[in-house]
Structure 1
Amino acid sequence: MESVMMELEVDEKDLKAAGAEPLTDGRRGLVIHGWEIESRKGAILNSSTVQEWEQKLGTTHLPEMVFGESCLVLKHVKSGTKIHFNAFDALGGWKQEGLPPVEVPAAAQWKFRSKPFEQVILDYDYTFTTPYCGSETTEHGSGKILEARSRLQWEDCEEHIDMVALASKEPILFYDEVVLYEDELADNGVSLLTVKVRVMPSGWFLLLRFWLRVDGVLMRLRDTRMHCSFGGSGNPIIRRESCWREATFQALSTKGYPIDSAAYGDPSIISQRLPVIMHRTQKLKVSGNL
Structure 2
Amino acid sequence: MLASMSMMMSHGFKSSKQEFTFGPWKITAAKNHIMKSKDIERLAEEMNMPSLPEMLFGDNVLRIQHTDGYAIEFNAIDALKRVSNMEDAVKVACAQEWQDSRADSEHSKEVVRPYNWTYTTDYRGTLIGEGVEIKVTETAERINMEKLKAREQIMFFDEVLLFEDELHDHGVSMISVKIGGKNYMLREFSTRESRIDELKNVPAALYTDPNEIAQHLTLKLTVCERLELPVTQCQTAVNKVLQ
Shorter-chain TM-score above 0.5: yes
Aligned to 1:77: 67
TM-score (norm 2): 0.77
Q: Which has the higher contact order (CA 8 A, sep 6+)?
A: 2
Letter in 1 for 2:79: A
Bigger CA radius of gyration: 1
1:123–1:164 distance in 2 versus 1, CA, 3 Å: same
Q: Give the Å deviation of 1:50.
A: 1.0
Contact 1:101/1:124 (<8 A) preserved: no
In proportion to residue count, which structure has more helix?
Answer: 2
Which of 64, 79, 90 pairs up with 2:79? Answer: 90
User: 1: distance between equivalents of 2:40 and 2:197?
Assistant: 36
TM-score (norm 1): 0.65
2:173 paired residue number = 192
Name the aligned partner's letter for residue 252 of structure 1: L
Give the number of aligned pairs: 219
Report which of the two has the higher share of strand.
1
Does the 8 Å contact 1:102/1:125 carry over to 2? no
1:273 and 2:216 matched: yes
2:88 to 96, 99, 103: 99
Unaligned runs of 5+ in 1: 6-25, 141-145, 197-205, 207-226, 231-235
Alignment check: 8 A CA contact 2:74 2:125 kept: yes
Matched AA of 1:71: V
- Aligned residue for 1:36, secondary structure, equals strand
Partner residue in 2 for 1:63: 53
Match of 2:181 in 1: 229
Q: 1:168 aligns with which of 150, 160, 180?
A: 150
Deviation per CA, 1:150-200, whole angstroms, max 9, x where unpaired? x432111221111212222221111011111101112x223334445xxxx
Q: Percent identity between the aligned chains? A: 27
Contact 1:100 1:124 in 2 (8 A): no
Q: Deviations over 1:183-238 (max 9, x none)?
A: 1112x223334445xxxxxxxxx2xxxxxxxxxxxxxxxxxxxx3415xxxxx211
* Aligned-partner Cα distance in 2 for 1:261–1:39: 32
Give structure 2 stretches of 5+ with no counterpart: 9-15, 234-243
Aligned counterpart in structure 1 of residue 195 of structure 2, from 232, 242, 248: 248
C-alpha RMSD of matched pairs (Å): 3.2
1:239 positional shift: 1.3
1:278 Cα deviation after fit: 1.1
